[in-house]
Structure 1
Amino acid sequence: MRNQKVLLLVEIAIFAALGFVLDFVAFKMPQGGSVSLVMIPIVLMAFRRGVLAGIITGLLIGLLQIVSGLISVTPLSFSFVVMQVILDYLIAYGVVGYAGLLRPQYLNFVHQQKRGKMISSIVLAVLIGSLLRYITHVITGIFFFGMYAEEGANLFIYSSIYNATYMIPVFLLTAVVCALLFLAAPRLLQPRNV
């Protein structure tokens, strides 16, 4: 039992480090956000070990970005910066772990050998994680990045459109890579017993 917990923690740490590294290969947006492969290890861990493991992996990726100083923050007061960093990095990457909600459905389709439904489960899971992350970024955009909008602009519309410009490609990229990866290497989703 103890070996299983240690193995789980090691896997989470490895996948978080992988996500952190994959975020370096990115197209960066001018006011924050990027198109990268950062969500793939989170979704992979969520499908491999469940929702909680996915959430913790996402939180660690966000924490690694914060402590490395590779973050975009607004030039506001300290308390605003803290709130923005928590939302934009910890919560935004943590909620991607909810992709694991579809893990049981996916495993059922694997058992039934229904490849089309397996792919549908993967895409829907990535959509859930992406949508939750997108909502978090829209909220931070409204409250913290409104200064970049034109005067009189609707901040909800501004933030929604801006964040969609990178989150839609992130969703598509993550869904395609995860679908191909999970189908080509299904053993990635099967944790080893020690």
Structure 2
Amino acid sequence: MEAAFSKNIAMIFEQPTSVFALAAMVALILAFAYIKKVKLNTSMMVHIGLMLALTVILHTFRLYHMPQGGSVTLGAMIPLLLIAFRYGPVVGYLAGFTYGLLNLLQDPYILHPVQVLFDYPLPYMALGLAGYFKDRMLLGAIVGSCGRFICHFISGVVFFASYAPPGTSPYWYSLVFNATYLLPELMICLLILRVLPVKRLLLQMRNSENYVSGYGR
């Protein structure tokens, strides 16, 4: 019985697509379990809608677009980071998931259903991790970007290995390919966060919530 179990485990790991499909589904289920606990009010939905619209607009201003997907933009991650900083990681996951679906429509590059998960909903959901670092926003942006990078890296290794030059490790190829656009994207975001009056913007978002709540009474 133990031999049969070991054989089944070995067969699973011989098919990395199945492993990562399972991991993706587990991540989505856990994220939605947390998201279901969130009570969205009118002001939150308005802010999320505005930030998503701004993200879509900023994504159209591309400084560079990679041949197999991925772009360097003028800070398109900033609005999603602001949602995470203001409302925390769970709402950040929700906003990231929603934008991932919008980005799939905006800039699709599809090879496999599991690849879609790792290149669209999951990486942008990972930006919600920044919400754990509200008082250290630059660190939060780095952590969120690292989460996004890991998702794209896995996709590159599993689904884009055939694009690697002959003799090149798919791990090295995915690392270099994704770092080529995600690292400049992160640098731009960090620069904007340093220049932008982020705390004042978050305070204005909070004040507008109080206004809407008071008006509702």
TM-score of the two chains, using structure 1 as the length reference: 0.80
The higher radius of gyration belongs to: 2
Distance 1:90 1:186, change over 3 A: closer
Does the 8 Å contact 1:46/1:54 carry over to 2?
yes
Which of 20, 33, 56 is the aligned partner of 2:94?
Answer: 56
Contact 1:122/1:179, CA 8 A, preserved across alignment = no
**Matching residue within 70, 75, 100 for 2:131:** 100
Q: Does 2:71 match 1:28? A: no
What SS is found at the alignment partner of 1:35? strand
Matches of 1:137 and 1:185 in 2, distance apart?
Answer: 30
Aligned to 1:85, which of 105, 116, 133? 116
> In the TM superposition, what is the alpha-carbon distance from 1:141 to its structure 2 partner?
0.4
Contact map agreement 1:42 1:55 (CA 8 A) in 2:
no
Query: Which residue of structure 2 aligns with residue 190 of structure 1?
Result: 206
Q: 1:128 and 1:188, CA in 2 relative to 1: closer, same or farther beyond 3 A?
A: farther
1:185 shift after superposition: 4.1
Q: Report if aligned partners of 1:96, 1:129 keep a CA contact under 8 Å in 2.
A: yes
Residue 126 (str. 1) matches residue 157 (str. 2): no
CA contact (8 A) 2:51 2:83 kept: yes
| Number of the residue aligned with 1:6 | 42
Specify the alignment match of 1:73 in structure 2: 110
Relative contact order: is structure 1 or structure 2 higher (C-alpha 8 Å, sep ≥ 6)? Answer: 1
Q: Distance in 1 between matches of 2:170 and 2:60?
A: 29
Q: TM-score, normalization: structure 2?
A: 0.72
Identity fraction in percent: 33
Q: Which runs of 5+ in 1 are unaligned?
A: 75-80, 107-120
Gaps of 5+ in 2: 1-38
Deviation at 1:187, TM superposition (A): 2.7
CA distance in 2: counterparts of 1:92 and 1:166, whole angstroms:
14
Amino acid at match of 2:127: V
Shift of 1:6: 2.2
Distance 1:86 1:188, change over 3 A: farther
**Count of aligned positions:** 169
**Aligned alpha-carbon RMSD (Å):** 1.8
Match of 2:51 among 15, 18, 21: 15
CA displacement 1:19-65 (0-9 Å, x = unmatched): 11211111211121111122101100011111111111111111112
In 2: Cα distance, 1:42 partner to 1:7 partner = 16
Alpha-carbon distance between aligned partners in 2 of 1:12 and 1:183, rounded to the nearest angstrom: 17
What is the CA deviation profile of residues 66-119 of structure 1, one whole-angstrom value per residue up to 9, with x for unaligned ones? Answer: 234x21223xxxxxx21111110100111101101011xx1xxxxxxxxxxxxx
**Using the alignment, how far apart are the partners of 2:76 and 2:202 within structure 1?**
20
Counterpart position of 1:78: none
Q: Distance in 2 between matches of 1:179 and 1:173?
A: 10
The aligned amino acid for 1:40 is I
